Amino acid sequence: MLVRLRESKIDAEAALVENQHRFDMAFAGARCGIWDWDVSENRVYWSSAMFDMVGLKQPSKRLLPSEIKAMAHPEDVEAIDEIAKAANRASRSYDTTFRLRHADGSWVWMHAKGQVWSGGRAGDRLVGITIDITEQKLAEERVSEANERLRDAIESVGEAFVLWDAEGKLVTANSKFAEFLNITAADEGAARNDIMARAGIGDAWPVAGESETEVSEIHLPNGRWLQISERRTKSGGHVNVGTDITAIKEQEAALTDNKVALEKTVHDLEASRRKLQEQARQLVDLAEKYASEKTRAETANRSKSEFLANMSHELRTPLNAIIGFSEIMGSGLFGELGSPKYKEYATDIHASGTHLLELINDILDMSKIEAGRMTLETQALEISEVVEESLRLVSGRAEMASVTIENELPELPTVNADKRAVKQVLLNLLSNAVKFTPAGGAIHLKGEAKDGFVTIAVEDSGIGIPASALPKIGRPFEQVESQHSKKHKGTGLGLALSRSLVELHGGTLSIESTEGVGTTVSFTLPLAQDA
């Protein structure tokens, strides 16, 4: 008998665990979790789905309110306190929205709703559900941005414009239309008949049929004349575009006896009517085309990324082979090539292939930065080590150009930076300095630590940059020399890429130059936290 009871208990516990797992899976699929706040113990129970929504492992299902506040957005901490106050409200419930930090650093919008449950001696508990509404919030922001752009476009139109919904209520109007009918912000959502009655124009307003456009002239109580074109939208609403034709009407009245003038006025009115009809059509299509243009732009961006990825694979593979084989041929690893010219050609092939590979790498890095896909692996970095490595790589080039490089860096604290990115910035700046410094010139590498940043400066005694060209330096593909007259090869990506990499670290890159005297390029990197 005891054995059967024990087996029944085990089966019941297994069924309970399975039901709990099923319950958690259902909530996780719906992006919502359970929130149970034991007021007496000041502990909050979170279901597994709650931890999943913020990307955390489940250390414990019971949290302190202070732990939740630490995860909340600084502006939303009071919302957590409002939940705790539900026990003292007459409604005995809570309904609030707040943000919690996700494990990846982003913010997750939560909508928490529930009520107070009294469990006898156990005291009050705040029980409810919390739903992830991040997508809804992002959608609202996109809609708001689209509405702002549409409103700006409507406001920039030279004519009066108003949009009514399918129920004949005011949706939006530009300042010109508001001026004509004395509309204020409080009238948004008001019925069209009420607005027209208040303006004193009543039935004079045009009403378009299912597909046609109706045009009417309205004489306002203040003496002004409007020509109104109305067109029905696909959603059942109406768009009105109005032109102030007061001057035309006054001319028409004054020139009644002048046939030539009257015909000209009629001709102008017909042209205005056609223009108004075209503008009405364009304005109706504006909002509808916005969504499709946005989709096209996103598709184009994806296509660009795919193209660059394919280009990386298709060009790098043969280039590596060209560089490798030309290096073997130039070194004579498997025997002499014959004519000395072949060895010279192999050296040229190797140099050209290496230059082309560097160009491809720069373009791909720049595209990653512009697309927001460049990630940094920051660490506590000794800047002197990176400088020494960079100098070793550039020293051969400087020696060939008869340019000296003086490392005058003092002892500097560690910085928080990506070693590969910092090395790439230094190589770009040092290479540019060597390239544009005449034989016998000098390059000085200086630095200092100040206000939480380390500043590194590369000073050269080169040709300098004209003051008129300084604003362009640092933009992608911008070079001071023209493509036909320049003496130094390059793509113009070096400084642009360096500036972008520095700014990704939270630093700045600046350029000072005097033509014929030299150039100083300096950049900053943040100090490591323990520096």
> How many domains, the chain?
4
pLDDT value at residue 165: 83
For the stretch 320-358, pLDDT in tens is: 777 777 777 777 767 777 777 777 777 777 667 666 766
Residue 138 lies in a domain: no
Distance CA 153, CA 287 (A): 10
**In the predicted model, what is the mean pLDDT of residues 380-405?**
89
For the stretch 280-331, pLDDT in tens is: 788 777 767 877 777 787 777 667 656 765 666 676 677 777 777 777 777 7
- Within this chain, do residues 41 and 100 fall inside the same structural domain, yes or no? yes
- Within this chain, do residues 365 and 456 fall inside the same structural domain, yes or no? no
pLDDT value at residue 454: 93
- Within this chain, do residues 364 and 389 fall inside the same structural domain, yes or no? no
| CATH number where 63 lies | 3.30.450.20
Residue 116 lies in a domain: yes
**In the predicted model, what is the mean pLDDT of residues 212-240?**
78
Residue 504, token pair as written in the block: 């990704």
Band of residue 474 on the pLDDT scale cut at 50, 70, 90: low
- Within this chain, do residues 351 and 415 fall inside the same structural domain, yes or no? no
- Within this chain, do residues 283 and 352 fall inside the same structural domain, yes or no? no
- Within this chain, do residues 203 and 286 fall inside the same structural domain, yes or no? yes
Residue 24 lies in a domain: no
Distances from the Cα of 275 to the Cα of 158, 282, 283, angstroms: 12, 11, 12
pLDDT value at residue 514: 87
- Within this chain, do residues 421 and 501 fall inside the same structural domain, yes or no? yes
pLDDT averaged over the chain?
78
Look up tokens 């019941």; give the residue. Answer: 12
Residue 415 lies in a domain: yes
- Within this chain, do residues 357 and 443 fall inside the same structural domain, yes or no? no
Look up tokens 């002197």; give the residue. Answer: 384
- Please provide residue 385's backbone torsions phi and psi, each rounded to the nearest 5 degrees: -65, -45
Which residue did the predictor score with more confidence, 104 or 205? 104
CB atoms within 10 A of CB 150: 16
- Within this chain, do residues 360 and 476 fall inside the same structural domain, yes or no? no
Buried b or exposed e, range 250-267, using 16+ CB within 10 angstroms? ebbeeeeeeeeeeeebee
Which residue did the predictor score with more confidence, 84 or 453? 453
Q: List the one residue out of 425, 419, 435, 305 whose CA is nearest residue 363.
A: 305
Residue 456 lies in a domain: yes
Look up tokens 């109406």; give the residue. Answer: 238
Using a 10 angstrom Cβ sphere, with 0-12 exposed, 13-18 middle and 19 or more buried, the burial of residue 84 is: middle
* Beta-strand pair 442-450/404-407: parallel
CB 251 within 8 A of CB 265: yes
Residue 16 lies in a domain: no
pLDDT value at residue 485: 35
Of the residues 340, 370, 400, the one at which a domain ends: 370
| CATH number where 520 lies | 3.30.565.10
Residue 145 lies in a domain: no
- Within this chain, do residues 389 and 518 fall inside the same structural domain, yes or no? yes
Residue 7 lies in a domain: no
Which residue did the predictor score with more confidence, 430 or 24? 430
User: pTM above 0.95?
Assistant: no
Domain that holds residue 258: 154-292
- Within this chain, do residues 89 and 217 fall inside the same structural domain, yes or no? no
- Please provide residue 489's backbone torsions phi and psi, each rounded to the nearest 5 degrees: -80, 150
Asked if pLDDT for residue 17 goes beyond 50, the answer is no
- Within this chain, do residues 456 and 476 fall inside the same structural domain, yes or no? yes
